[in-house]
Each structure stands twice: as structure tokens, then as C-alpha cells.
């Protein structure tokens, strides 16, 4: 005898009484979450973005009585205009948005196209920014409105850090605390050592290097920095970065001398994770290195810290100190390799749900 089966969502609909109000349920949401971007490059949008970002206790752990006057009286007065000019240099003028939005949207759309072809409308995909728009709370609510009673949240940070992965989850959990009917949730773990991620990085680097008209003497593997104090308090970020660097170096067959790990984007007077990218670039050029490249595997998408800080600022440092040939190798972004890595993580974390 053949038994006809129906998806869970259909079974629930059949079991409802005839006079029951419509209930959308039985679907699974996937929410990709990235850092964020200002809504514009002028003073007030930049100020709003920086205020939200730099007010986060996960990002700045300095005592509030020290930090608040500095933030509100100095930083938010002077920094928005200066950073606005930097953002303007990498802005997507066609869409009037930062590159992080453009790329994260494309990653989500490509992932949706791949998995809905296999699972149909049971899976729903969306994306959100921890700071700025689209905000995490509204996107969670949108997934619930579409019938998602299970949601997989995917922080797009390969290496875990409290100021990135944890604060994205904090924002989601704050939203869940306001909901009477909460969905079941999962959080994808960091994927710093995932074979699919390492392979994607290596393939992307090989392709980028093949396009150059020179062979870099040194390649810097530059990760976003973090105050050293955060490491001493137990944050695993440095260890995750070091493992990514080691696995990628082994996959590419490079020596430690040619493929070096550094940290960028330090802020304030405190000591941060070393060695610093900008100081290393200057030292290499001054010591006689004539050609180099930089790759930033800690970023899932190119943004201000890669397009302006690495490709512009560090290029100038290298060339002004004796270097001759410089290249920035793009992030995985929404390339096929980049979406492959995200897809591998999502497929693994959806096991048991689909």
C-alpha cells in the first residue's frame, strides 16, 4: 500500500478547524547578518552610524564615564566628516549605498537561488545589518510574517569575536525578547577552519594572483584588529585568525616568510593585536621588498576597511617607502567561491530541519 505524505506545513494546515484564523507556519528562515554601513556619506548619516557602532559595549569596553564624553564631545563631532569622505570613495553611487550592502544582498540572493531550487518555498532567505539598515529586528519579524517558525542566523564572520559575532547575536536576541511567539533559532558557528571556506579562499587568491603582471615577493594575510586586552579576557579571535592563516598557507604551499599574518584598523591609544599591517607594509618597503600583495580573509565582503584602508592607504605607504608593485586581492564577496563557502555552512547547519 502506498501512503501519501505531505510536508509539515501542509499537515498543520489540514489539521486546523474550518473556522480557525489563517496561520502561516512551517517554513524555515535563513538570515545572513553582517556588520553594517551608513545610510549616506554626509555628516548626519555618518554620525548616526558611528554613534550606534561606537556606543556598543561589545565594541568599546572602556568605562562609560571615560568613553561617553570622548565619544559625544570629540569623536562624533570630528569623525563623521572625515569618515564620510572615505566612504564616498568606495560608495556604490548607482544604488546609493555602501558596498557591504550591495554584496551582502547579492550573496543572499545567490544563496536563495541555489537552495530554493532544491527545497522550494519552504526556505526563506533574508539579510540584515547589525548597525544601520536593514536592521536585525525588522528582518526577523519579516521572516516570522512569512511563516518561518525556525530561523537559522548566520553571522558572516569566519572568525568569532565578541565585537562582531556576539553583538550580532545580541541584537537578534534582544528582538526575540519582545516576541510572544518566538521561533526556534540556531546560530551558525564560526567557520574559520571549514574546508570549504579555506578552499574558496585559496581558489580566489590563485585566480587573483594569476591576473597580476608580477609575482609578489610577500603576501600579507591581514585581519581586522582587536585590542590586546580583549584577547587576554578570553576572546578566541586571535586563535581563529591564526588557524585560518595556517590552513590557507598550507593549502597554497607558501612559507611563513612569504605569507605573513598581520592586523589592521587599530583605533585609540591602547595596544592592539600585533603585528600591525601598516607598520609591516612600511617595514617591508623600507627593507627592500619591491612587490607585495594583501588579502583580507577575515572579511566576507569588501568594505571601507579593505577598499580604502588596504587598497588605498597601505598601497600609498608601500609605494612611498620604496616599494614598486602592490596589489590588493579582493575578498570572496559574492563570487561563486564566496557563495560556495556560505552555502556549505548553511547546508550543514540546516541538517535536521531540511
For strands 27-36 and 148-155, give the pairing: parallel
For strands 148-155 and 184-187, give the pairing: parallel
Q: How far is CA 178 from CA 131, 141, 174, 182, in A?
A: 19, 11, 7, 9
Rounded to 10 deg, the angle between the 99-119 and 336-349 helix axes is 60
Pick left, alpha or beta for residue 34 (phi over 0 → left; psi -120 to 50 → alpha; otherwise beta).
Answer: beta
Report the length, in residues, of the chain: 354
In angstroms, the CA 145 to CA 125 distance is 13
Phi, psi torsion values for 298, nearest 5 degrees:
-80, -10
Rounded to 10 deg, the angle between the 43-54 and 76-90 helix axes is 110
Grid cell in block for residue 169: 547575536
Collapsed DSSP state (helix, strand, coil) of residue 303: coil
Other C-beta atoms within 10 Å of 51: how many? Answer: 15
Q: Is 257 labelled a binding residue?
A: no
Tell me the DSSP string of 224-260: E--BHHHHHTT--HHHHHHHHHHHHHHHHT--TTTEE
Note whether 121 and 7 are within 8 A (CB): no
Phi, psi torsion values for 194, nearest 5 degrees:
-65, 130
Grid cell in block for residue 48: 548616526
Q: Sheet of 184-187: strands edge to edge?
A: 123-131, 27-36, 148-155, 184-187
Q: Is 305 labelled a binding residue?
A: yes
Annotated binding residues for Fe(2+): 224, 305
Annotated binding residues: 224, 305
Amino acid at each position: 500500500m502506498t501512503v501519501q505524505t505531505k510536508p509539515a506545513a501542509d499537515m498543520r494546515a489540514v489539521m486546523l478547524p474550518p473556522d480557525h484564523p489563517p496561520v502561516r507556519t512551517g517554513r524555515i528562515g535563513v538570515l545572513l547578518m553582517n556588520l553594517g554601513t551608513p545610510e549616506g556619506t554626509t555628516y548626519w548619516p555618518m554620525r548616526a552610524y558611528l554613534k550606534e557602532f561606537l556606543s556598543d559595549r561589545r565594541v568599546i569596553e572602556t568605562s562609560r564615564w571615560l568613553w561617553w564624553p570622548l565619544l559625544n564631545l570629540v569623536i562624533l563631532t570630528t569623525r563623521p566628516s572625515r569618515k564620510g569622505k572615505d566612504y564616498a570613495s568606495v560608495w556604490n553611487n548607482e544604488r546609493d549605498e555602501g558596498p557591504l550592502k550591495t554584496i551582502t544582498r547579492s550573496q543572499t540572493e545567490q544563496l536563495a537561488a541555489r537552495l530554493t531550487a532544491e527545497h522550494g518555498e519552504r526556505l526563506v532567505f533574508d539579510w540584515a545589518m547589525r548597525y544601520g539598515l536593514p536592521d536585525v529586528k525588522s528582518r526577523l519579524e519579516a521572516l516570522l510574517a512569512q511563516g518561518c517558525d525556525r530561523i537559522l542566523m548566520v553571522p558572516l564572520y569566519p572568525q568569532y569575536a565578541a565585537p562582531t559575532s556576539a553583538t550580532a547575536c545580541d541584537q537578534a536576541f534582544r528582538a526575540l525578547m519582545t516576541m510572544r511567539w518566538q521561533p526556534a533559532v540556531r546560530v551558525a558557528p564560526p567557520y574559520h577552519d571549514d574546508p570549504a571556506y579555506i578552499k574558496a579562499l585559496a581558489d580566489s587568491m590563485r585566480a587573483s594572483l594569476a591576473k597580476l603582471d608580477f609575482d609578489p615577493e610577500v603576501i600579507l594575510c591581514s585581519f581586522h584588529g582587536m585590542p590586546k586586552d580583549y584577547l587576554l579576557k578570553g576572546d578566541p579571535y586571535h586563535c581563529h585568525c591564526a588557524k585560518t592563516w595556517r590552513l590557507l598557507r598550507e593549502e597554497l604551499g607558501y612559507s611563513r616568510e612569504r605569507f605573513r599574518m598581520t592586523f589592521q584598523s587599530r583605533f585609540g591609544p591602547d595596544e592592539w593585536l600585533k603585528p600591525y599591517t601598516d607598520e609591516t607594509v612600511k617595514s617591508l618597503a623600507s627593507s627592500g621588498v619591491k612587490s607585495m600583495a594583501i588579502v583580507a580573509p577575515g572579511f566576507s565582503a569588501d568594505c571601507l576597511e579593505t577598499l580604502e584602508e588596504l587598497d588605498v592607504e597601505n598601497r600609498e605607504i608601500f609605494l612611498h617607502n620604496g616599494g614598486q608593485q602592490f596589489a590588493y586581492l579582493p575578498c570572496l564577496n559574492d563570487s561563486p567561491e564566496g557563495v560556495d563557502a556560505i552555502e556549505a555552512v548553511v547546508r550543514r547547519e540546516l541538517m535536521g530541519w531540511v
